[in-house]
Amino acid sequence: MAEQAILSARDLDFFYGAAQALRHITLDIPAGRVTALIGPSGCGKSTFLRTINRMNDLVPGTRMAGSLTFQGQEIYAPGLDVTALRRRVGMVFQKPNPFPMSIYDNVAYGPRTHGERRRARLDELVETSLRAAAIWEEVRDRLKKSALGLSGGQQQRLCIARALAVEPEVLLMDEATSALDPISTARIEDLIGSLKERYTIVMVTHNMQQALRVSDRTAFFLSGELVEFSPTERLFSMPRDQRTEDYITGRFG
């Protein structure tokens, strides 16, 4: 295998109570690449994404089986430090959700949580994160102003900056552009392209054009199963599975 897998699922099952949301998922997510998860609503994309940083722990009565590893470490190992995991695996949500605080405090929140108190270091982290999220120029003069005064697209880039500020290795994005206008979406797609040099990105999207534009690999989910996982261009030009072809040509979904 040429590419190094940073995340590996082996026969991963996931249950909400008695309902099974993921069935025998086996895939390797390559480091330093953008992996897109596509599939019809309810097929388990978000569920899979949220097993990676264990956000599913918040839902009572859930259960997993099989194996899911991050850099060789079992994510669901008993006694695993979930906060340390989430620090290394950041997440951007569908709806922009900046805290009702200043722009600066939003970005500094993560580093402060992890014990960073030095003012100079925080200033530096805030600036580099905002620059990396391509929003620095727009907010440099209003860092002390409330983040809620930003536009939706700016808020989402701020949320990306906030996630980057804890210096994660993986960034999970769950339909991060679906609440945004086309221009903001294009900016975030550009941003994803520039981030993949330093981060592994796993993104859920309903927009197949978007998957095609920004991702290196695409995984097609259907009813909790992984149907096909291929290099993006190949999946869209020469799908191996009939169901993939039906979905990408819009015959169902």
Partner 1 sequence: MKRRIKPAEFAMQTLFLVCGLTAIAFVLLITVYLILAGLPAIREIGLTDFLLGRTWASTHATDPRFGILPMILTSVYGAAGAIVLGVPVGFFTALFLAKAAPPRLAGLIRPAVNLLAGIPSVVYGLVGMCVLVPALRAWLDLPAGDTLLAAMIVLAVMILPSVISVSDAALAAVPREYEEASLALGATPVETYLRVTAPAARGGVAAAVALGVGRAIGEAMAILMVAGNVANMPSLLSSVRFLTTGIAIEMNYAAPGSLQRQALFSIGLVLFFFIMVINILLNLALKRGREG
Ligand X SMILES: Nc1ncnc2c1ncn2[C@@H]1O[C@H](COP(=O)(O)OP(=O)(O)OP(=O)(O)O)[C@@H](O)[C@H]1O
Give the nearer residue to Mg ion in terms of CB position, either 48 or 70.
Answer: 48
Measure CA of the first residue to CA of the last residue in the chain; give whole Å: 33
Task: Classify residue 172 by burial, with Cβ atoms within 10 Å: 0-12, 13-18, 19+.
Answer: buried
Give the nearer residue to partner 1 in terms of CB position, either 39 or 90.
Answer: 90
Contacting ligand X (CB under 6 A), which of 43, 75, 132, 219?
Answer: 43
CB of 111 to ligand X, least distance (A): 30
- Quote the distance between the C-alpha of residue 138 and its chain's center: 24
Q: Which residues bind partner 1 (CB under 8 A)?
A: 53, 55, 58, 83-87, 90-91, 93, 95, 97-101, 109-110, 113-114, 148, 159, 162-163, 166
Cα pseudo-dihedral 187, 190, 192, 197, rounded to 10 = -150
For residue 44, the partner it binds in partner 1, ligand X, Mg ion, none, with Cβ less than 5 to 8 A by kind, is: ligand X
Of 45-53, 116-124, 153-161, 186-194: span binding Mg ion (CB under 5 A): 45-53
**Max CA pair span of the chain:** 56
Contacting ligand X (CB under 6 A), which of 3, 26, 59, 65?
Answer: 59
Go through 9-34 and write b for each residue having 16 or more CB atoms within 10 A of its CB, e for each that does not. beebebeeeeebbbbebebbbbeebb
34 near 55, Cβ under 8 Å?
no
Pairing of strands 217-222, 34-38: parallel
Write the interaction track for Mg ion spanning residues 3-42; mark x where CB under 5 A is met and - where it is not: ----------------------------------------
Give the nearer residue to ligand X in terms of CB position, either 24 or 131.
Answer: 24
The residue ranges that bind ligand X (CB under 6 A) are 16, 19, 21, 39, 41-47, 59
